[in-house]
A and B are shown apart, each in its own frame.
Chain A
Amino acid sequence: MSRERKWLVGICILVVLATLAACGPTPTPQVIKEKETVVVPVKETVTVKETVVVPQEKTTVTIAYNQYFNMTFGPADPPIVAIKKAVESKYPNIKVELLVTSTEAKTWHDMYTTWFMAKDPTVDILGVGGYWTAEFAEAGWLEPLNDGVAPDVDPKITAKLIPAYLEAHTYKGKLMGLGPWWGGIGGLYYRKDLLEKYGFKPPQTYDDVVTIAKTIMAKEPGMTGWTWSGKKDVALVNRWFEYLYGFGGKYFDDAGKCAMNSPQALAALEYMVNLIKDGISPAEVATWKEEDSMVRFVSGQAIFHTGRQDMLFWLDNPEKSKVVGKWGFIPNPAQPGGRRSGTYEGWAFAISKFSDSKDAALKVLEVMFDFPVQKELNLSQGPVQAHMDVYTDPDVIKNNPNMPLIEEIAKTALAPLSSPQYPEIADILAEEIHAAITGLKAPKAALTDACARIDLATGH
């Protein structure tokens, strides 16, 4: 080996050793403890107190959630920062880490399925969609939080959380998660200025919407009547639930069979199809995801828009919106005999059955749903949080003056269809409803097929 090559090998070894040293464990925080050393002399016993340093092990609690946990949209830290600070001050021996998941709900769900299948103990706390609760609970993948077997959540914490929301995250009487930390509820945005100009009050029924839209569209050329998200996606399914209940329909009958082929359900789907046929909603809605569907309303080109409350934060921001001060937000309409409904999409946090740090995870979960962190979450990414005191907090109301509007919408919250087969049912509904609104199937055929497939999936 030449001299140069020997040097080169030596340098490489040094670099590798230095890298390994750098990758080694970081020093853990240490706790000062008093250790008693007993010295036994010949004649008498003297106890000497000596101070020694004993390293304390930190327990890491890993939370799985998407990249939004690293972001803030208001006057507060991003959620993960707020949680880390609160946990560190209360439990110095617990370290919180974030494992970033996909933002796309389907991919996100499938990531969890893979982890659960592998009985992966890495993730302790998981952000779970309300409609995943039944599926994961039935599969035994989540730790019940009120079944009398540790870890059970402190009742003082749950007493302060809004019961209707907790109900949405309960399966067969067992609380499977605390939530929402963030949530969405559908409602109807409308152009207040245009409705006032043509002498209309905000619509109460679906027929009102059609009447108002037709009148204004005739007098305001180029104006779109009603925008909503109709892409073959979970958002379309959420919109469908709102129409279904708004026309007096329901998910299942008393025997647990699919009831979405009832006359009320048919009327709801025919109404959706006719919105497109009559030109009140453009045919493009069938390609729009939620973010696409709001574009025309925000640009001042639509009279009505159905969507979640998210837009409230920036509809009055002139940099992002052309309808500053010209809009209103009300619960979705309903036909006589129907229920004004906004599909509730709440994200809870649950403890994985396969976590190897369940006790520490429970402590973190309790911190997350105590008032200080809930308030921080509201200020950074509000407005739908679980803790009831948040809604009356002066800082929260100052930050979001639209809280009263949200409270009205929250009264119409419709719990998502609860079934262990929810992902399959949602796919079936997305396919059949989409086939109907794109004209591939007649509404009656689409609903008949949907219910036949759903009953097959649920074993009825």
Chain B
Amino acid sequence: MKIRLREPTIAFLFLLPAFIGVIVFYYYQIVQTGIYSLHNLQHTADWQTQPFVWFKNYATVFRSTYFWQSLRFTVYFTFMATVLELAVGLGMAMATFWVSRWLGGILRAIIIMPWVIPPIINAMIWRWLFHADVGLFGYILVSLGLVDKPPLFLTEPMLAVHSVIFADVWKNSSIMAIFLLGGLAAIPADIYDAAKVDGARSWFRFRKVTLPMLLPTILVALLFRGIDALRTFDLIYGLTGGGPGTVTETLSSFAYKYYFTYGKFGLGSAYAIVVFAIIVGLAAVYLSRIRRNMRFKE
């Protein structure tokens, strides 16, 4: 017996496993976290037997001065890290794209290395580099005579904030470069040839050909890295532990701490939902701007 299916039905059947996967592995947890956030859960996730507290947990979140402080830091960190990673990543992509094929392969293998190092290992490496007694950076600065004694990279608030940004840029510029290399490869060579014939020099070609053609890739890469930076946790946790005081505390650390360390699943869930809402909100605004930009390109 032959079963005849119309094209939309076949498409639906093909999509069904992925659809079920997304529902089971993503949306179910979000709904569950939302339910938890409305209950007073301490060391238990059995929400049906625990008091329903309406939005009390959310009120606690918004009343916390530490939450607002960490929101400010997280936004600053995300902005600085993403912009610097774009600049460094673009430089690395340009440098590796225009060299010979075999050298490009070697350089690409080298630039991807920081990205494949697990964040917590990365944090340990940087902790030693910034170490006040035996750190390389302190040694270099003292040897060059720029300072009398090694700066306290992880204790001085301003230095600590920018040290974690520096470590993040080192790690994640490479993935930005890999994204942009894909974008560069997609630009047709004949456009460059035409520009050369018209007498355009290299800087002009970069501004008028490369950058506009690369813009869609840049926007997607920024979105990807921006969301990732908003959720940063391991690197900063390993490097400063959120210190000095709470100066480098990130939003993600709140949900983690209240959920896993303190066992306050209700409050931890409220933090998680608020962070989720902030990320979705920022991503939505960003995506709408990208769409507008794409329409303009069309």
Contact B257–A435 (Cβ < 8 Å) = no
- Determine whether B193 belongs to the interface, using a CB cutoff of 8 Å to chain A: no
Which chain B positions have C-beta within 8 A of A423? Answer: 261-263
User: Are A438 and B155 in contact, CB atoms less than 8 angstroms apart?
Assistant: yes
Stretch at the interface among B51-59, B172-180, B237-245, B284-292: B237-245
Cβ B245 vs Cβ A434 within 8 A: yes
Q: Are A139 and B155 in contact (CB under 8 A)?
A: no
Contacting pair B261 A435 (CB below 8 A): no
A109-B241 contact, Cβ under 8 Å, with A117-B45, A292-B133: no
Q: How far is the CA of A288 from the CA of B133 in the complex (A)?
A: 10
Would you call A232 and B244 a contact (CB within 8 A)? Answer: yes
Does B131 belong to the interface (CB within 8 Å)?
yes
B44 in contact with A440 (CB, 8 Å): no
A286 vs B245: C-alpha distance when bound (angstroms): 10
Separation of A232 and B244 alpha carbons in the complex (Å): 7
**Digit string of A110-152 for contact with B (CB within 8 Å is 1, else 0)?**
1001100100000000000000000100111100000000000
Are A434 and B261 closer than 8 Å at their CB atoms? no
Kindly list chain B residues whose C-beta atoms are within 8 Å of the C-beta of A110: 260-261
B186 within 8 A of A: no
Residues in B with CB closer than 8 Å to A284 are: 132-133, 152, 155
- Asked if residues A109 and B152 are in contact (CB atoms below 8 Å), the reply is no
B111 interfacial contact with A, CB 8 Å: no
A360 to chain B, nearest CB (A): 27
Measured CB to CB, the nearest residue on chain A to B243 is: A232
Number of A-B contacts (CB under 8 A): 86
B157 at the A interface (CB under 8 A):
yes
Rounded to whole angstroms, the CA-CA distance of A139 and B50 in the bound complex is 14
- Tell me how many residues of A have a C-beta within 8 Å of chain B: 37
The reply to whether B262 and A421 form a contact with Cβ atoms under 8 Å apart is: yes
Complex CA gap A284/B131 in Å reads 9
Q: Are B131 and A232 in contact (CB under 8 A)?
A: no
Cross-chain contact B260 with A114 (CB below 8 angstroms): yes
Whether B196 sits at the interface, judged by CB under 8 Å, is: no
Nearest B residue to A440 by beta-carbon distance?
A: B245
In the assembled complex, B229 has its CB within 8 A of some CB on chain A:
no
Is B242 in contact with A431, judged by CB distance below 8 angstroms?
Answer: yes
Tell me the bound Cα distance from A411 to B13 in angstroms.
72
Nearest A residue to B248, CB-CB: A232
For residue A158, CB closer than 8 A to chain B, the reply is no
Residues of B within 8 A of A106 (CB): 261
Per a CB cutoff under 8 Å, which of A140, A421, A438 touches B244?
A: A438
Q: Is A434 a contact partner of B260 (Cβ separation < 8 A)?
A: no
A305 to chain B, nearest CB (A): 14
Nearest A residue to B65 via CB reads A449
A296 at the interface (CB under 8 A from B): yes
Which chain B residues border A135 with CB–CB below 8 Å? 43, 263
The answer to the question of A399 belonging to the interface, with a C-beta cut-off of 8 Å to chain B, is no
Q: Which residue of B lies closest to A432 (CB)?
A: B245
User: Of residues A110, A114, A140, which shows the largest number of chain B Cβ atoms within 10 Å of its Cβ?
Assistant: A110
Contacting residue for B243 out of A283, A288, A434, CB 8 A:
A434
Q: Is the CB of B246 within 8 A of A138?
A: no
B125-148 contacts to A (CB < 8 Å)? 131-134
Which residues of chain B have a CB within 8 Å of any CB of chain A? 42-45, 131-134, 152, 154-157, 240-247, 257, 260-264
- Pull 28 A–B residue pairs with CB atoms less than 8 Å apart, ordered by A: A110-B260, A110-B261, A113-B260, A117-B45, A135-B43, A135-B263, A139-B42, A140-B43, A231-B241, A232-B244, A282-B132, A283-B152, A284-B133, A284-B155, A286-B155, A287-B152, A287-B154, A292-B131, A292-B133, A424-B261, A427-B257, A427-B262, A430-B241, A431-B246, A434-B243, A434-B244, A438-B156, A441-B245
